[in-house]
Structure 1
Amino acid sequence: MILLVRPKFLRKNFNGIALWPFVIVRNPDLSRDFIFLNHEQIHLRQQIELLVIFFYVWYGMEFLLRWISYKNRNLAYRNISFEREAYACEKNLNYLKKRTFWSFLKYL
């Protein structure tokens, strides 16, 4: 993981984003937030498993389908399988040591 602090790179609503191999954050204080970093590292693992490009394609398609279904962008984002896994497991700092391959499928 390569951590970058780039506040102007992110949209107003975003505190950070995982773009393999980088985690880009708005605020340097987030570099010491272990729960936030664990959340983003879960995304990096998901990206590696799907050979990066397929992660972004799947993420975008799932977001669009959920947005159409829920008619709410935030609700659609929160229900993407990748996000559901990351939010459910972000407080478990040992999660990535025990996580099995393609665990995000459990959250579809």
Structure 2
Amino acid sequence: MILVSRRFLNLITGKFAQAITLWPFIILKSKELRTDRSLINHERIHLRQQLELFLIGFYLWYLIEFLVRLAQKKDFTNAYYAISFEREAYLHDLDFGYLKHRRLFAFFKYI
């Protein structure tokens, strides 16, 4: 389900993100982003990742990996883009059939 809430997104991401996925919702910053196919596909990849790790596992892993990357990269943006979940989603957000052929735990190869 897609929701739009600029205020919530800014609260959670500090104005960094255009969207966030919190199972089962994709939360967008603006209504116009509903037509951004690559963004929606990117967030759907995150939905699949979240299911694979039973939600809590995903959020814990994401946080831990972000903190490790942040310690390595010393920069918020570079740390974010180095997270395995984000690497997979960004590399495949223009492949609109990706989720049909994606293997379980595909994010492992991006660690």
What TM-score does the superposition give when structure 2 sets the normalisation length?
Answer: 0.95
Structure 1, gaps ≥5 residues long = none
- Verify: 1:7 aligned to 2:6, yes or no: yes
Q: Tell me the residue number matched to 1:94.
A: 97
Aligned residues, how many? 107
Q: Tell me the residue number matched to 2:36.
A: 33
Superposition deviation, residue 13 in structure 1: 1.8
Q: % of aligned pairs identical?
A: 48
- State the Cα deviation string for residues 39-95 of structure 1 (Å, max 9, x = none): 000000000000000000000000000000110110000000000000000000000
- State the Cα deviation string for residues 9-41 of structure 1 (Å, max 9, x = none): 112122110000000001101111110000000
Range with greater deviation from structure 2 (10-19 or 55-64): 10-19
* Partner SS state of residue 67, structure 1: helix
The 5 A counterparts of 1:37-52 are: 37-52=40-55
Structure 2, gaps ≥5 residues long = none
What TM-score does the superposition give when structure 1 sets the normalisation length?
Answer: 0.97
Separation (CA, whole Å) in 2 of partners of 1:13 and 1:53: 23
Alignment-mate amino acid for residue 71 of structure 1: K
Quote the RMSD (CA, aligned, Å).
0.5
Return structure 1 stretches of 4+ with deviation > 6 angstroms.
none
